[in-house]
Amino acid sequence: MTAIIDDYLDRAVARALRGPARDRNPRVGCLLVDPAGEIVAEGHHAGAGTPHAEVAALAAAGPRARGTTAYVTLEPCHHHGRTGPCTHALLEAGVVRVVYAVPEPTERATGGAAWLQEQGVKAEHHPHAGSYALVADWARAAALGRPHVTWKIAGTLDGRVAAADGTSRWITSAEARMDAHQLRSQVDAIVVGIGTALADDPALSARDADGTELAGQPLRVVVGHRDLPAGSQLTRGPAPALHLRTHDPREVLRTLADHDVHTVLLEGGPTLAGAFWAAGCVDELLVYVAPVLLGAGSAAVPDLGITTIDDAARLRLVDLTRVGPDVRLRLVPTAATPDPEPASPSSPAHALVPASPIQED
């Protein structure tokens, strides 16, 4: 029986993937299955302001929804947002059982399964890894109350990110840079300071080894008051970069949340990244270390105001991987913000206690 439920939820995940990859809301899929095991209808959420997956499936099923079981990747919502509660829609349509993979992690929309149970609709939680993966970024951002931030550093053994003359291309290997490009394609936004934009004129796109742009392109963001020169790469490309003329990391993240950003890759430079660190806005570090010495030049990390070893910022190593001739370390601050490991049944997204301005509707 468990395998059959997993099959239905796998299919619900496949359906959910038709929804937009970047949106205020998570992607959700729903299947309505009759007592003979036949799929009566499927639905997915096509983005904020459109019907939720359950409502889309119910609309496709019409009267055939009566007596079915709903297999849903996320617990049906139980609140009035831009659309009505899915719990009410399921009850009114005569659905007799609801199997959901991920408990609703936001306080605002939670309680759906318990309410359905009270109304006589059997509600079962069936943990399912694919469904957790679908909502992991959204749930992390909801738990943090802002986008999740990964600070990426590509540095030398002696912690430098540029030589004394300001040149920094390239410290790490082509393999490490390709690895970082893959990461870019998986986040919602890349953020750099205007100092980096002026020094390096980066494109901040996600590209493969021959320079072709990958399928997922993040929002490109530059932070700082100075202007970008006309013709710089950030003024060109598939979409112009967002230029935020502020020095306040929290303001940056609030603005990005308004742009439906759940995950941020902070690519420096040291001044901006140090400001994010000081504001408590770094959740994870991804550090590519090249077997290179410079002895002088910009330090990867600016002065953090630490004067004695007892006050050192300590990090926890969660992964160490060799990438070509370099190594990649994934670390989290020890007084951390939620664990960045992908949510799975053993580290469920709902364990991240939410208090969320990033809300589902």
Ligand X SMILES: NC(=O)c1ccc[n+]([C@@H]2O[C@H](COP(=O)([O-])OP(=O)(O)OC[C@H]3O[C@@H](n4cnc5c(N)ncnc54)[C@H](OP(=O)(O)O)[C@@H]3O)[C@@H](O)[C@H]2O)c1
Positions marked catalytic:
54
What x/- string results for residues 315 through 344 when contact with ligand X is judged by CB under 6 A? Answer: ------------------------------
Among 275, 315, 318, 327, binds ligand X (CB under 6 A): 275
Residue 151 pairs in a beta bridge with 266, 285
Nearest Cα to Cα of residue 321 among 184, 149, 175, 213: 175
Measured distance CA(167)–CA(65) in Å, rounded: 64
259 CB burial (10 A radius; 0-12, 13-18, 19+): middle
Q: Tell which one of 18, 108, 207, 247 touches ligand X (CB under 6 A).
A: 247
Q: How far is the CB of 198 from ligand X (least distance, A)?
A: 8
To ligand X, the closest distance from the beta carbon of 236 in angstroms equals 19
> Judged by CB under 6 A, which stretch of 30-38, 122-130, 223-231, 308-316 contacts ligand X?
223-231
What 3-state class would DSSP assign to 160? strand
Q: C-alpha distances in angstroms, 124 versus 101, 103, 116? A: 9, 10, 10
| Nearest-approach distance from CB 183 to ligand X, in angstroms | 13
Outline where 226-302 has alpha helix (H). 249-258, 270-278
Return the residue of 111, 130, 147, 268 that touches ligand X, per CB under 6 A. 268
- Cβ neighbours, 10 Å, residue 7: 12
Nearer to ligand X, 70 or 162 (CB): 162
- Could you tell me which stretch among 48-56, 95-103, 152-160, 317-325 binds ligand X (CB under 6 A)? 152-160
Residue 153 binds ligand X (CB under 6 A): yes
Q: Count the site residues for ligand X by CB under 6 A.
A: 28
Q: Note whether 223 binds ligand X by CB under 6 A.
A: yes
Our CB check for ligand X shows the closer of 272 and 343 to be 272
- Considering only the stretches 16-24, 187-195, 235-243, 320-328, report the one whose residues sit in contact with ligand X under the rule CB under 6 A: 187-195
Q: Please tell me whether residue 250 binds ligand X under the rule CB under 6 A.
A: no
Query: What is the rounded distance in angstroms from the CA atom of residue 203 to the CA atom of residue 221?
Result: 11
- Residues 95, 101, 107, 111, CA torsion sign: positive
The yes or no reply on residue 292 touching ligand X (CB under 6 A) is no
Shortest separation between residue 32's beta carbon and ligand X, angstroms:
49
What is the enclosing helix (H) or strand (E) of 328? strand 326-333
Does the protein bind ligand X through residue 224 (CB under 6 A)? Answer: yes
Q: Which amino acid, residue 336?
A: A
> Could you tell me the smallest distance in angstroms from the CB atom of residue 245 to ligand X?
7
Neighbouring residues of 263: CB distance < 8 A, sequence distance ≥ 6? 137, 140, 141, 147, 148, 150, 186, 187, 188, 189
Please, which residue, 200 or 284, has the CB nearer to ligand X?
200
- Cα(311)–Cα(300) distance, rounded to whole angstroms? 19
CB of 229 to ligand X, least distance (A): 13
Residue from 186, 219, 260 nearest 23 by CA: 260
Q: Does the footprint of ligand X cover residue 242 (CB under 6 A)? A: no
For residue 298, state whether it binds ligand X (rule: CB under 6 A). Answer: yes
**Contact residues for ligand X (CB under 6 A)?**
153-155, 161-162, 166, 168, 171, 192-196, 199-200, 223-226, 247, 267-272, 275, 298
